[in-house]
Amino acid sequence: MANLMAIAFISRPLVTGIAGCSAALVASMVCAGPAAALDYKFFFNQAPADRIGTIHPDGSITYSWYLADGRTRLDGEFEVEGLIMDLVDNRSGQIPSSIEITRADHDPLSVGTYTLTQGNGFDVRDGAIARSFWIGVMDALSYRRRLIFTPAGPWSVWAEQWAEIDDGYSIYSWNNDGQKYVDCACWVSISLPLPGSTPVFNLLGGPASPPSPSPVPGPLPILGAFGAYQVSRRLRRRIQRGKEFGVSFKMTSLD
Q: What is the mean pLDDT of the chain?
A: 76
What is this structure's pTM? 0.68
Report the amino acid identity of residue 203. L
At 98-141, the pLDDT tens digits run: 999 999 999 999 999 999 999 999 999 999 999 999 999 999 88
**Cα Rg of the chain, angstroms:** 26
Banded pLDDT at 147 (limits 50, 70, 90) = very high
3-class state of residue 81 by DSSP: strand
Rounded distance between C-alpha atoms, residue 6 and residue 82, angstroms: 70
Which residues is 129 bridged to in the sheet?
124
Nearest to 230 by CA among 241, 221, 239: 221
Nearest to 96 by CA among 126, 125, 119: 119
Rounded distance between C-alpha atoms, residue 31 and residue 29, angstroms: 6
More confident: 174 or 24: 174
Domain-wise residue ranges, the chain: 1-33, 38-247
